[in-house]
């Protein structure tokens, strides 16, 4: 067995007095026209928000209709954050019209007075809820991803393609994690005549009753357009999935623009979490962390998943997922 790679010197976190949390100012939002996104109709404005789906640092999401959810600010400081998200989602909804079915949770209406976003509702839940489900883990054979090998490969292929499409539209997501990946049941034959679809259509035919879920990206509250710094920069990060440079920028005040590579790193961590059934940093039996995001797993686990990530990073999408991720974990000769 090869020796464990030598870890770099741990980073020094600056004292709290040297940086401030990038909290938006507590001022009313000045509405700006979002020409691609209409205002909500009157019957939606009068519909009570009762079925809560989830909440985050800036917002709370409710189920409004069987196909529509509404995202509301949690406090006045969230108004600029959600307005910026509405602008980005309006851009993506218009730019990704050729993606059928869509790879992002689209925005349908926006109320600039309240910063309420009316978005696609997908009832299948998130990748996190799927991977953590007890019945999923008990059905999975030892040595396979907890969501099943075919499902994991399908998710990897589609998630890489979704992130590549978002990047091609000029947007960096900034907070990709398994809780921000919604699921939609795959319908064989619905995506066109591509070779990849033929493979999965054949799988569904050969496995009657098998349901594949494809990923849909949501929560663009931390997103930026390529090279831009919106407001105070990075508004929130999820440490278990964020790239080291994003964490450094956040600790330094959040003023650094997001780069495409940060999303690539987060995709790798998301796929690992979907395979493990837990966040990568969640327990010491899976990994330990030291330095700038360098982590160590069992050797067989490393090579197995790094190979798969390399295949999808280079062959399926071409934005270097494998080479970047393998570089972080310290395996030589695969990138």
Q: Is 246 exposed, middle or buried (0-12, 13-18, 19+ CB in 10 A)?
A: buried
pLDDT for the residue numbered 48: 87
Longest dimension (CA), the chain: 67
Whole-model pTM? Answer: 0.73
Q: Residue by residue, what is the 3-state secondary structure of 158-196?
A: HHHHHHHHHHHCCEECCCCCHHHEEEEECCCCCCCCCHH
d(CA 298, CA 282): 16
Is there a contact between 178 and 273 (Cβ–Cβ < 8 Å)?
A: yes
Per DSSP (E only), the strands in 19-147 are: 51-55, 59-65, 68-73, 107-111, 116-120
pLDDT for the residue numbered 27: 35
pLDDT for the residue numbered 141: 57
pLDDT for the residue numbered 295: 40
pLDDT for the residue numbered 47: 85
pLDDT for the residue numbered 58: 86
55 Cβ contact partners less than 8 Å away, ≥ 6 residues apart: 61, 74
Topology at the third CATH level for domain 124-329: Transferase(Phosphotransferase); domain 1 (1.10.510)
pLDDT for the residue numbered 286: 40
pLDDT for the residue numbered 135: 66
Averages of pLDDT over runs of 10 residues in the chain (335 residues) are 47 40 35 67 86 88 93 92 93 81 91 93 92 69 79 94 93 93 86 67 83 94 74 65 82 72 93 90 48 39 49 45 44 34
Q: Which of 325, 241, 327, 328 is nearest to 282 (CA)?
A: 241
């Amino acid at each position: 067995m090869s020796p464990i790679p030598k870890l770099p010197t741990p980073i020094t976190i600056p004292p709290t007095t040297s940086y401030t949390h990038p909290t938006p100012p507590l001022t009313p939002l000045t509405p700006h026209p979002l020409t691609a996104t209409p205002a909500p109709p009157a019957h939606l404005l009068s519909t009570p928000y009762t079925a809560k789906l989830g909440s985050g640092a800036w917002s709370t999401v409710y189920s409004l209709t069987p196909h529509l959810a509404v995202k509301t600010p949690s406090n006045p400081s969230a108004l600029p954050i959600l307005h910026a998200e509405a602008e980005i989602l309006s851009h993506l909804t218009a730019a990704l019209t050729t993606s059928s079915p869509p790879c992002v949770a689209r925005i349908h209406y926006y109320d600039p007075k309240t910063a309420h976003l009316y978005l696609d509702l997908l009832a299948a839940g998130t990748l996190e809820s799927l991977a953590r489900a007890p019945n999923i883990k008990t059905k999975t054979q030892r040595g396979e991803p907890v969501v099943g090998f075919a499902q994991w490969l399908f998710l990897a292929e589609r998630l890489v393609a979704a992130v590549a499409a978002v990047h091609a539209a000029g947007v960096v997501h900034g907070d990709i994690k398994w809780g921000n990946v919604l699921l939609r049941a795959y319908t064989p034959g619905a995506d066109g005549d591509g070779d990849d679809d033929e493979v999965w259509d054949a799988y569904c035919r050969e496995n009657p009753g098998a349901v594949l879920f494809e990923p849909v990206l949501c929560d663009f509250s931390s997103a930026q357009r390529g090279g831009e710094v919106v407001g105070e920069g990075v508004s929130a990060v999820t440490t278990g999935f964020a790239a080291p440079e994003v964490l450094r920028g956040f600790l330094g005040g959040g003023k650094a623009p997001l780069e495409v590579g940060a999303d690539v790193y987060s995709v790798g961590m998301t796929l690992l979490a979907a395979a493990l059934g837990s966040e990568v940093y969640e327990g010491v039996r899976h990994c330990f962390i030291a330095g700038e995001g360098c982590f160590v797993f069992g050797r067989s686990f490393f090579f197995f998943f790094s190979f798969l990530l390399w295949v999808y990073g280079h062959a399926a999408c071409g934005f270097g997922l494998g080479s970047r991720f393998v570089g972080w974990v310290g395996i030589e000769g695969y990138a």
